[in-house]
Amino acid sequence: MSERAQNRNIEIFEHMPVAKAVRTMAVPTIMGQLIILLYSIADTFFVGRTNNPLMVAGASLVLPVFNICTSLAGISGVGGSAQVSRLMGEKDPEGARRVSSFSLWFALLIGLAFALGVLLFMDPLMRLLGARADVLDYSKAYAMCVIVFGGIPTVMANVMANLLRSTGESKKAGFGIMLGGLINIALDPLFMFVLFPKGMEIVGAGAATCVSNCISCIYFIMMIRSIGSGSVIRMYSPFVLPRADHLRKVFSVGVVSSIAGFLFDLDYMVIQRLMAGYGDIPVAAIGIVLKAERLPLNIGVGICQGMVPIIAYNFSAKNYRRMNDTINYSRRLGIVCALISILMYELFSPYIMRFFINDAQTVALGTDFLRARSLATVLMFLSFFHVHLFNSYGRGREAFFLGVMRWLAFNIPMLFLLHHIFGMYGIVWSQLAADILTVTLSVIVYRNYMEKHHMYA
Q: Which whole number is the average pLDDT over 369-381? A: 93
In a domain, 204, yes or no: yes
- Calculate mean pLDDT across residues 22-37: 81
Query: SS3 of 29, please?
Result: helix
Q: How far is CA 55 from CA 63, 134, 142, 145, 218, in A?
A: 13, 9, 10, 15, 31
User: What is the extent of the structural domain holding 283?
Assistant: 3-452
Q: pLDDT grade, residue 84 (50/70/90)?
A: confident
Question: Is residue 316 situated within a structural domain?
Answer: yes
Q: Is the pLDDT of residue 118 over 60?
A: yes
* CA angle (24 as vertex; 23, 30 as ends), nearest 5: 65
Whether residue 131 lies inside any domain: the answer is: yes
270 within domain boundaries: yes
Total structural domains in the chain?
1
How far apart are alpha carbons 151 and 26 in whole angstroms?
A: 26
∠ CA 227-229-235 to the nearest 5 degrees? Answer: 90
Determine, yes or no, domain membership for 139. yes
411-434 pLDDT tens trace: 999 999 999 999 999 999 999 999
Q: Which of 36, 17, 260, 160 is nearest to 25 (CA)?
A: 17
pLDDT in the model for residue 2: 46
User: Does the residue 32 lie in any domain?
Assistant: yes
**Does some domain include residue 457?**
no
pLDDT on residue 229: 65
Residue 235 lies in a domain: yes
